[in-house]
């Protein structure tokens, strides 16, 4: 077993583990191990991690606009806070908003969705408590067939196939990924539209109750209850900012290598289409099963002091269906922060940074970039 996303992700997972919040990794579709964690432990560990690195944190501030120095350079991000509007100035900005908000305001080019008017569909996940673990057993194996039976008998209707129901670290608590949120015209809820987000959130909670009513008919779940709904709807895809390279579905399926690799992605394509979720893996075990992520994905065209990392980085619709997941986002985030620090030290623009300098620094920090490095052992 190999965990290929390392670096800051290993630090965070270590902190979650010390809080007793890590599950044993579990196999997905017989091809990849997934690492689940307790959400409260994650929050505490993330606070600790940022505290250790003396990061200035400002919560409760919504990015709302930009002040440009000229068309290529950002002077300030405007934020709305309880104490009024503020400008946050900086020499280099990294947009990790998921939606590419700052990049869009600054005039970066971007794409949205599949060019046919739809994006990956969002979901409202939730967690159940009070499950009887002995009776529930490996219910994730039997639930898909029970869903089909319930639908055929007209007892329930489900918005999508490929539901995920899995135990958390404490087996009386399970997470449920059952829902799919569409607009009236059948297309995905648009995470850039406040009206859509509002309707999606209301409908998401309604679908969660429907899913719960079905799950209570499954052995072991009779006395369970919804212990937590997320603070907001889970959005998978909105803007994808166009950078120096767009990671594609072929790159993912072909386990691509790049000279300017800053980390790797091991997740397959996972397309949330109407009514279903379609996975496409690279050939496993014939291939190494992961692709490298080029630094150019983080560098938007036409802007000098902006980088993007996370699900809004430079990827095609298919490439993003894979590398939007948290492992690749950790790799991109660590690389963007490290590159910004190196660029500031050397008085260079992020796009001018020498690739080997960044790669050396990332390796020193424990990151795995693929390339000539030995694949890390263990999970």
Ligand X SMILES: Cc1cc2nc3c(=O)[nH]c(=O)nc-3n(C[C@H](O)[C@H](O)[C@H](O)COP(=O)(O)OP(=O)(O)OC[C@H]3O[C@@H](n4cnc5c(N)ncnc54)[C@H](O)[C@@H]3O)c2cc1C
For residue 171, what are the CA distances in angstroms to 24, 27, 127, 130? 12, 17, 12, 9
Q: Is 97 in the site for ligand X (CB under 6 A)?
A: yes
To the nearest whole angstrom, how small is the minimum distance from the Cβ of residue 372 to ligand X? 27
Q: Is 101 in the site for ligand X (CB under 6 A)?
A: yes
Stretch that binds ligand X, among 44-52, 98-106, 239-247, 370-378 (CB under 6 A): 98-106
Q: Which of residues 166-195 bind ligand X (CB under 6 A)?
A: 177
Angle ∠(35,41,42) on CA atoms, nearest 5: 60
To the nearest whole angstrom, how small is the minimum distance from the Cβ of residue 314 to ligand X? 13
To the nearest whole angstrom, how small is the minimum distance from the Cβ of residue 39 to ligand X? 12
Q: Which of 11, 38, 99, 292 binds ligand X (CB under 6 A)?
A: 99
Structure-derived torsion over alpha carbons of residues 53, 13, 317, 359, reported in degrees to the nearest 10: 50
Q: Which of 32, 33, 76, 125 binds ligand X (CB under 6 A)?
A: 125
Tell me the three state secondary structure of residue 349. coil
CA 163 – CA 223 distance, rounded (Å): 21
Cα 28 versus chain centre, distance: 17
Contact 230, 126 (CB under 8 A): yes
In the complex with ligand X, the residue whose CB is nearer, 125 or 349, is: 125
In the complex with ligand X, the residue whose CB is nearer, 200 or 282, is: 200
In the complex with ligand X, the residue whose CB is nearer, 249 or 327, is: 327
* Enclosing H/E stretch for 280: strand 276-280
Tracing tokens 């990671």 back to the chain, one arrives at 247
Q: Which of 147, 329, 353, 362 binds ligand X (CB under 6 A)?
A: 329
Q: Which of 10, 326, 365, 373 binds ligand X (CB under 6 A)?
A: 326
CA 141 – CA 288 distance, rounded (Å): 27
Positive or negative torsion for Cα 28, 287, 6, 332? negative
Q: Is 234 in the site for ligand X (CB under 6 A)?
A: yes
Q: Which of 58, 62, 152, 153 binds ligand X (CB under 6 A)?
A: 62
Binding residues vs ligand X (CB under 6 A): 62-63, 96-99, 101, 122-123, 125, 177, 234-236, 310-311, 324-327, 329
């Amino acid at each position: 077993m190999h965990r290929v996303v390392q670096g800051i992700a290993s630090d965070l997972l270590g902190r979650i583990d010390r809080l007793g919040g890590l599950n044993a990794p579990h196999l997905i579709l017989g091809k990849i191990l997934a690492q689940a964690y307790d959400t409260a432990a994650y929050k505490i560990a993330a606070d600790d991690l940022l505290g250790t690195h003396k990061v200035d944190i400002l919560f409760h501030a919504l990015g709302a606009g930009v002040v440009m120095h000229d068309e290529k350079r950002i002077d300030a991000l405007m934020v709305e806070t309880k104490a009024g509007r503020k400008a946050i100035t900086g020499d280099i900005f990294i947009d990790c908003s998921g939606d590419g908000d700052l990049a869009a305001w600054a005039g970066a080019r971007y794409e949205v969705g599949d060019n046919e008017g739809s994006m990956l569909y969002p979901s409202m996940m939730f967690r159940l408590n009070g499950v009887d673990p002995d009776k529930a057993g490996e219910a994730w194996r039997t639930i898909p067939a029970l869903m089909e039976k319930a639908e055929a008998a007209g007892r329930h209707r489900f918005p999508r196939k490929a539901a995920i129901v899995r135990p958390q670290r404490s087996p009386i608590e399970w997470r449920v990924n059952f829902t799919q949120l569409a607009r009236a015209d059948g297309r995905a809820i648009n995470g850039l539209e406040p009206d859509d987000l509002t309707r999606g959130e209301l409908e998401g909670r309604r679908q969660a109750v429907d899913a719960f009513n079905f799950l209570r008919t499954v052995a072991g779940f009779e006395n369970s209850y919804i212990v937590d709904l997320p603070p907001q709807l889970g959005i998978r895809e909105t803007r994808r900012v166009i950078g120096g390279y767009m990671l594609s579905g072929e790159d993912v399926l072909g386990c691509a290598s790049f000279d300017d690799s800053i980390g790797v992605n091991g997740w397959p394509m996972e397309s949330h289409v109407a009514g279903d979720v379609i996975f496409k893996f690279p050939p496993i075990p014939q291939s190494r099963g992961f692709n490298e992520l080029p630094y150019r994905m983080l560098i938007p065209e036409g802007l000098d002091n902006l980088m993007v990392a996370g699900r809004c980085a430079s990827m095609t619709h298919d490439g993003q269906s894979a590398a939007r997941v948290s492992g690749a986002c950790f790799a991109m985030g660590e690389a963007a922060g490290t590159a910004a620090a190196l660029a500031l030290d050397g008085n260079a623009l992020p796009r001018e940074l020498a690739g080997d300098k960044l790669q050396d620094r990332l390796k020193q920090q424990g990151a795995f970039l693929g390339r000539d490095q030995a694949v890390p052992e263990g999970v």
